[in-house]
Chains A and B, each alone.
Chain A
Amino acid sequence: MVKKKIAKVLAFRYKILAAILILLAGGLVLLPKYQKHEGIKPEELLSNTISPERYMTTDRLAHILINQDPSFILIDVRDEKSFASYSLPNAINIPLEKLFDEGSDSYLNQNQFDVVLFSNDNFYADQAWILCNRLGYKHMRVLKGGVNEWYATIINPLKPADNMPVTDFELYATRKAASMFFGVVYPEQVKVEAPVIVKEAPKKVITIEKKKKAEAEGGC
C-alpha cells in the first residue's frame, strides 16, 4: 500500500523537481532586495578605529622620510591650495572630497605600500581613514596631529627646560637634527665666527742714528 503511494508520487518526480527549480528561481526574483553592506563588518571597523596602532607619530614619520623608506606613501587630504603652499616631502594630494575619484584608488587600495594620511590636524585625515577602512583598504595610517604637529615637533622643536629628564634632551637633539635635514637653519649653525683682530703694535719709529764716522785722526 505504502509502496504504491510512493510509486504514485515518484511517477511525478521530474515534474516535482522542475517545479522546485522554478519556485526557487522565482523566489530570487520576488525576494525583497536590500542594499548590500560593502566592506568590513561594523564591529571590525570599531575595533580598528579604537586601536592606537592606526596613528603614526611625527618622529616615526621623520625617521621614515630621512631614511627614504620606499614602502610608504604620504597622502595629503587637504585641499589643493593648502597643498600648494606647504606639504610634507613627496606627499600626494588627494583632497578628502575627491578621495574616491578615479585614479586615487590605485594609491589607497593596494597591498604593497603603507599609506599615511595627514591633514592640518588629524581631523580630516581621520575621516578619510574611516572611509577607506570601512571599504576594507589595508595598511592605512594617520599622522597624529597632522601638519601642525609636524611643525611643532620636527620643524620647530621646543627646547627642553634645564630641569627636564635627559631623554627629552635626546629627543630634542634628534628632532633638531631632523629639522636640519628638512632645511631648518639654526642660528648657531650660521654664526660666523667674529674675526679675531690681532692688535698690531703701533709702529715705533726707531731712528737709527748713524754713527758718525770717526774722523781720521792723524797719527803716526
Chain B
Amino acid sequence: MGPLIPNGVIPFEWDNIIAILIGIAFGFVLEASGFSSSRKLAGVFYGYDFAVLKVFFTAALVAVIGVYYMDYLGFLDVNQLYVHPTYLWGAIIGGIIMGVGFVAGGFCPGTSLCAVAIGKIDAIVYVGGIMVGIFIFSELYPLFQPIYEGYFYGNVTLEDSLGINPYWFVFIFSIIAIVAFVISDMVQKRVKKIFY
C-alpha cells in the first residue's frame, strides 16, 4: 500500500501541499518546544540542556521502529522509500561547516527560520549569514564541483554498507539512544545550571 504518493494512493500533485502542511506542523512543534531559542539549542554542546539530542534521537527512533513495523505488517514497503544519496566528502565537509555554524550561531537552519518567524534578531543575522554562505558557494561552484559531485556511493543505507540485519540494527540503535539519554541526564546534573 504505502508509500502513499509513489503508489498513487495520493496523487503526486498533492506532494507540495502535503510538504507545506508537514512543514507548518514541524515549525509549530519546534517553536512550541522552545527550539527557537539559540541558548537551548547550544546547550547540547555545553552540557546544560540536552533537549535537542533527546528530541531528534527519539524522533529517529520512533520513525524507524514505526516504519519497520508498518513494513512488517505490509502497510509500507521499505524498499520504495527515498534514500538520500551519499557523497562522502561532500557530506563530511558540509557536516563540519554546519556543526561549526551550529555551535557559533546557536541555530540549525530549520530552527533559525523558526526563530525568524517569532522575530529574534540573532536568528535574522544567522539567516543573513546562511544567504551569504549560499551566495559564496554559488559563485565558487566550479571550484567546489568536484567535491560536491564526487565520491558518490549511491543511495546506500547502513544495511547495505555494513551488511547488518535492519531489525537488529533498530534494536541496538534504540539501546544506544536510551544509554545516550541516561548519560546526558548524568552530565546535565553535574554541569552548573544556567538560567535562560
Contacts and interface: CB of A to CB of B under 8 A. Distances in A.
B72 interface: yes
B33 to A, nearest CB: 16
A28 B167 contact: yes
A25 B174 contact: yes
A180 interface: no
A8 to B, nearest CB: 20
Interface residues on A, range: 10 to 19
A3 B68 CA distance: 37
Contacts of B171: 22, 25-26, 28-29
Contacts of B177: 21
A18 interface: yes
Interface string B143-171: 00000000000000000000000011011
Contacts of A29: 167-168, 170-171
Contacts of B58: 21
A22 B168 contact: no
A204 B169 CA distance: 116
B53 to A, nearest CB: 14
A14 B178 CA distance: 10
A50 B169 CA distance: 44
B61 interface: yes
Contacts of B167: 28-29, 31
A24 interface: yes
Contacts of A21: 58, 61-62, 65, 174, 177-178
Interface in B60-82: 61-62, 65, 68-69, 72
Interface of A: 14, 18, 21-22, 24-26, 28-29, 31
20 contacts: A18-B181, A21-B61, A21-B174, A21-B177, A22-B171, A22-B175, A22-B178, A24-B69, A25-B61, A25-B170, A25-B171, A25-B173, A25-B174, A25-B175, A28-B65, A28-B69, A29-B168, A29-B171, A31-B72, A31-B167
